[in-house]
Amino acid sequence: MKFEAIKLIAFGPFTDRILDFSGERFGLHVLFGPNEAGKTTALRALTGLLYGFGHIVGDAWKHQPRDLAVGGVFVLSDGRTLNLTRFKRRKNDLIDDDTGEPVGQALLDEHLGRMGREAFTHAFGVSHESLRLGVESVLAAGGDLGHALFAATSGLNTLKLAMARLDEKMAELFTPRSRKALVITGISEIKRLRKAQKDASSSHIQWLKTKKQVDRLQQSEKTNELELEELSARIGSLSRHRDAVKHVAARARLEKELEKIGPAPRLRENFRQERVETRMGVEQAAQAEKHLKRDLGEIDNRLENLSVDERIVDNGKRIEALAGEANVHAKARVDAKSLRARIHQQRDSAKDALERLRPGLTSEDAEKLRLSRPEQSRIQRLASAGVKLEESRISAEKALKSAAANLEKLQRRLDAFEKPERPESADILEDAVSRASELGKIEDQLEKFENETLLLRGRIDADLAALGLWKGELSVLERLAIPTDETMREYGKRIENVERDLDDVRRELKKEEKKRADSQRRFDRMTRSRELPSLKDLHTHRTLRDKGWRSVRAAWLRGEDPDPEFMEAFASDGHLADLYEKSVERADRTSDILRQEAEAVAQADNLREEIREIDVELSAGKIRRDDLQGKRDKLWDQWRKLWSPLGVDPLPPAEMLEWSGRTKELKRKAEAFRKNEAEAEVVRKSMAAAASELASALSTANAKAPENAGFSTLLSLARRALAKLEKVDRDRRNLEGSISALQAEIDGHRERSAEIELELSRWKEQWAAVVSRLGLEADAGHEDVLEFVSALEDVFRILEKAKDYQVRQDAISSDYEKYKAKVKAAADELAPELSASDPETVAFRLNDRLKKEQERLKERKTLELDKRKKAAELAKIQENKAALEERMRLLCLEGETDDPEALPDMEKRSADRIRVERDLAKVDERLEELSVGEDLDAFAERVKSCDPDELSAGIEALASKRKQLEQERKRIVAELALAGKELNAIGEESDASMIAVKAEGQIAKTQADVERYVKLRLGSAILAKAMERYRQTHQSPVLEAAGGYFKTITRNAFEGLRADYDEKGNPVIKAVRPDGALLEITELSDGSRDQLFLALRFGGLFNYVKNNGPMPLVVDDVLVHFDDERSAAALKAMADLARDTQIVFFTHHRHLIDVMKKALPDSPPNVQYL
């Protein structure tokens, strides 16, 4: 089976997100998501799709629980496709998307190897946590081969822990030496109960006598209880009648008051308030109606006396426009006078300017000289170009003269310069300097190596002297086979566990001893001033008394000798009768003490039993302490034996672990010392060769070097000699280059001068043509021409401004004539009497009339609106008044009267009747409680016939009798308790049977514990055998495949894995070095152990796929602690496995994507981003 796609429809932060795993083969698929992107949520979604979401889902924070949905497309081994969606439902949560019908979980289970959620997660899920747990589990099992294969293939990383728990549970049930094991304590309890059962017999006659007394007292107690119940019932009846007397009298009084009130309606509580509100509402409505009718009459009168001129109002906009234009035209007429003055002024200015520009030039002649915009622009461009050409000609001449002078100076310097070729010795010297420079600060390196070597030598000597526990040469120390850190940690853990257990036992012993001393002290304090016998003492004394009585009877009736045991029980000699009397007195005294000091006796018995149990615990604890001390001594002997071949008297493992670390540090320093010496020698040889080469090169270059000069001196001399040779050659080449550049520059300046002269000739021709248009000479300067054009343009602007003023004046005159016509037409139509006045006056008077008529119109509209509002308000008030009058009629109907004025009296009568009926109901309720179900009227009549004083006297007499019975009951209970204690002290016949029942129960419990122990023992054995069978069946194929993966993951640091045996003959797994050396798992580094267990997981999955078909493997950030090289190797192994089954790799480390692309260039994985 493989995943074709996972559809995160609604889960966690995802909505309609599809993870595509399609492809022809299985392949390696990578899901990358940064922190908080939903990687872990996607994992939970995948598990939920396969096995359901469960009752509580923590990923329903974005979507409602009922909306959660995850879908998937699965390709089965036979090529069929399943398209399923899982919902959060109680039933029918798995839907076939192709049919829309629900399907059962069994359909998926069939293709998931019929594994449950946990088993599937263990078998086909690998995470960093499970990898570490697996390594720790295999390590704890000592590299056991069967355990390693089973844990790696099944993914059950806690198998060793499960087996340890089985051992712990078995130890709780039974171990040969443990006194606290359940089976051992059960057997001890059975023995104790059997002994108690044997001791439970007593005198039958005494028991029967006491039993009859108990039965008589119990019968008396029952009779007393019946009499007390009868008296209590009579007292209760009389008390109820006495209490009912006052309530019956109140009932009669209330019935008379109710009859006096007579019939009255039961009005509501808010009836009066509603009546008052309704009456006030009617009065207020009538008053408001009156005022509104008066206001409406006044409005009608004002409307009749108000008139409006509709013609003026209808032409309001026309009149307002004319009045507004009047101000405008008045201002325009003032502006026209000013314009006429400006026109004359502008014309005079233009005439003066033309005269100054050219005498006799008129405005008509000036129009002929007007230039267009392009012509003006061309004159300006030509003038600017002429200036630039002149400047360029002068600049070119200066540059040519300067370049010629510089060329002459350089040529003289070059003629005076030596011109030898670069000598061959310079090249030789340059090569020697280059090779010597590549060595860097070689003298500093040599000094550093020599200093480090001396420092390491000193540290090694000091550390070797301070090492302790061992003396000898460093070379011998390096060859010592010191136990591994894991071995020392294991011994340390075992010794620490034993010491901790021993300390626990010692603390427990101290605690028990203190507890026993406290109990003994309390017992001594209780028995110091009085005798507190036990029930056993009572039994002993009564048995002795019975023996005495039998001896008395035997001597009296048959003349036999007294019982010797009875006689020996008394230290003093005496007559049989006296001794018998003493035995009777002792037994009676013991019985009295037990009866009188029952609580103290019970406490003393508890203390005796507690002391006995503590003594048992102390004995068991001392045995346990001795066992642990022996175990601790044995471990220390083994520890010393482990170090004896080295000639070392070892310290505790923790200190030896630190000592081993110091020896390792010594070995590391020794290795560094030898490495530094070798590197220093290489540096010396390199420096000597370079110095020889430098001296030879200096000699070739005729440079003198001091005798016995060092490397740095020779290198400095060689660099200076080389720099001198190179400077001479560089200066000569620079001069030659500068001369060539100047010659090229002079040629360029000459060409540029010729070009400028040609351009200047063409410019003069264009300039002459342009200035002739203005009547000027061809040689006229460009500044004079530009000034003439500018002055001419100023004249034209003055003339244009005078023309604009004339146009504005003509427009003002025309507009005013039109305005006069509009005003006259309006006056003729609306106010003919104003036609003779000037237009502005007519417009203003018409506007005044308009304002007055508009105010009258506004007043009329306001009055009409106010009339409509008051009319509407009047109608509403009249409607409200009618409703209130109807409401008052209904209130009269409810009050059972036609006159509203009579309603207050009806309200009072109704309230009185309701009050009396309520009080009567309370009295009846209390009488019903006192009548206890009897007819209320009959009970009341009987109470009326009772005398309250006689009732009280009867109650007191019965209460006195009840008090006597209660005292009698206390006496009976006390005698019954004493007889019961005596009966229990004698030992009831059923005690033996009860003890037997307890014994049988304890036997059943112990049998159940034994059966459980057997089952656990069998389960442990079956699990061990199953692991062994699994090892024998899968050892070869799994180890072979895992070995190949291990070789790939470790980058050939190991050849593979092999099954071998440890020193005890147990099969273990070992790693094979390329040289054939075998290493146990405890000898591997942490990283190699991780790689080994990962290889075992891959080998187990490969074997499963081979035998059962492909099943997807989900890998969750298993490379989190791998470096890039180890990660690349592990990814290659995954890619190899992914040819046979699908692998989905979850990660939030982006750099792993780059590692994958480099490690798998031919078959890059399918990477998807969350």
**What local confidence, expressed as pLDDT, does residue 72 receive?**
93
- According to DSSP, the β-strands at 81-87 and 94-96 are antiparallel
**What local confidence, expressed as pLDDT, does residue 990 receive?**
44
Assess if residue 383 is contained within a domain.
Answer: yes
Q: Are 9 and 69 in contact (CB under 8 A)?
A: yes
**Token pair listed for 233:** 């019932």
CA–CA separation, 546 and 206 (whole Å):
11
Assess if residue 1043 is contained within a domain.
Answer: no
Sequence-distant contacts of 643-652: CB under 8 A, at least 24 apart: 643/483, 645/481, 646/470, 646/480, 646/481, 646/482, 647/470, 648/469, 648/470, 649/469, 650/469, 651/469, 652/492, 652/495
**What local confidence, expressed as pLDDT, does residue 605 receive?**
75
CA–CA separation, 641 and 649 (whole Å):
9
Q: Are 242 and 951 in contact (CB under 8 A)?
A: yes
CA–CA separation, 430 and 439 (whole Å):
15
Q: Which residues pair with 81 in a beta bridge?
A: 75
Which amino acid, 335?
D
Last residue of one domain, picked from the residues 621, 646, 671: 646
**Token pair listed for 865:** 């609106």
Domain shared by 13 and 92, yes or no: yes
Q: Which residues pair with 817 in a beta bridge?
A: none
Assess if residue 792 is contained within a domain.
Answer: no
Question: Taking the CA atoms of the chain, what radius of gyration do you get in angstroms?
Answer: 64
CA–CA separation, 857 and 761 (whole Å):
90
Assess if residue 222 is contained within a domain.
Answer: yes
**Token pair listed for 280:** 């006030």
CA–CA separation, 56 and 40 (whole Å):
17
Run of H or E residues at 611 = helix 598-643
C-alpha distances out from residue 248 to 159, 651, 912, 955, Å: 86, 103, 21, 20
The residue written with tokens 């080994």 in the block is: 1092
Contacts of 711 (CB under 8 A, 6+ apart): 436, 442, 443, 687, 690, 691, 694
Assess if residue 810 is contained within a domain.
Answer: no
**What local confidence, expressed as pLDDT, does residue 697 receive?**
75
- Candidates 1004, 1070, 1003; CA nearest to 1035 is 1070
DSSP assignment of 722-770 equals HHHHHHHHHHHHHHHHHHHHHHHHHHHHHHHHHHHHHHHHHHHHHHHHH
Domain shared by 380 and 436, yes or no: no
**What local confidence, expressed as pLDDT, does residue 356 receive?**
73
**What local confidence, expressed as pLDDT, does residue 794 receive?**
75
* Count of CB atoms situated within 10 Å of the CB of 444: 11
Assess if residue 77 is contained within a domain.
Answer: yes
Assess if residue 819 is contained within a domain.
Answer: no
What is the widest separation between alpha-carbon atoms in the chain?
201
Sequence-distant contacts of 416-421: CB under 8 A, at least 24 apart: 417/731, 417/732, 417/735, 418/728, 418/732, 419/732
Last residue of one domain, picked from the residues 636, 665, 700: 700
C-alpha distances out from residue 440 to 435, 436, 690, Å: 10, 8, 12
Phi, psi of 9 (to 5 degrees): -70, -50
Q: Which residues pair with 1114 in a beta bridge?
A: 125, 1144
Characterise 255 by phi-psi region: left (phi > 0), alpha (psi -120 to 50), beta (else): alpha
Contacts of 486 (CB under 8 A, 6+ apart): 1082, 1083
What range defines the domain where residue 692 resides? 425-469+653-700
DSSP assignment of 640-665 equals HHHHGGGT-----HHHHHHHHHHHHH
Domain shared by 16 and 92, yes or no: yes
Domain shared by 262 and 401, yes or no: no
Domain shared by 597 and 642, yes or no: yes
Domain shared by 640 and 667, yes or no: no
Which amino acid, 27?
G
**What local confidence, expressed as pLDDT, does residue 382 receive?**
76
Q: From the first residue on, what is the mean pLDDT of each consecutive set of 10 residues in the chain (1170 residues)? A: 88 87 80 75 85 80 86 86 88 87 85 78 76 67 54 52 68 70 77 65 55 79 82 77 78 79 78 83 85 85 78 79 77 74 75 72 69 73 76 81 81 66 67 73 74 79 74 72 83 86 88 87 77 74 80 73 74 70 78 70 76 83 86 87 82 84 80 79 78 75 72 75 73 77 80 80 77 70 72 74 77 77 78 74 78 81 86 88 85 82 80 81 79 77 76 78 80 74 58 63 76 75 63 65 86 84 71 85 82 84 83 85 85 87 87 85 81
Domain shared by 588 and 732, yes or no: no
Domain shared by 451 and 504, yes or no: no
C-alpha distances out from residue 810 to 804, 838, 960, Å: 10, 21, 141
Contacts of 107 (CB under 8 A, 6+ apart): 82, 94
**What local confidence, expressed as pLDDT, does residue 297 receive?**
86
Q: Considering its fold, how many domains does the chain have in total?
A: 5
**What local confidence, expressed as pLDDT, does residue 596 receive?**
67
CA–CA separation, 988 and 447 (whole Å):
105
Last residue of one domain, picked from the residues 735, 750, 772: 772
Q: Which residues pair with 126 in a beta bridge?
A: 1115
CA–CA separation, 987 and 978 (whole Å):
14
**What local confidence, expressed as pLDDT, does residue 202 receive?**
42
Assess if residue 628 is contained within a domain.
Answer: yes
Domain shared by 87 and 39, yes or no: yes
Q: From the centroid of its chain, how far is CA 1025?
A: 45
Domain shared by 27 and 99, yes or no: yes
**What local confidence, expressed as pLDDT, does residue 156 receive?**
47
Domain shared by 501 and 437, yes or no: no
3-state secondary structure of 1153: helix
Return the DSSP state at 538.
Answer: H
Sequence-distant contacts of 389-392: CB under 8 A, at least 24 apart: 389/756, 389/759, 389/760, 389/763, 390/760, 392/752, 392/756
* Count of CB atoms situated within 10 Å of the CB of 316: 15
Domain shared by 228 and 257, yes or no: yes
CA–CA separation, 1124 and 244 (whole Å):
100
pTM of full prediction above 0.75: no
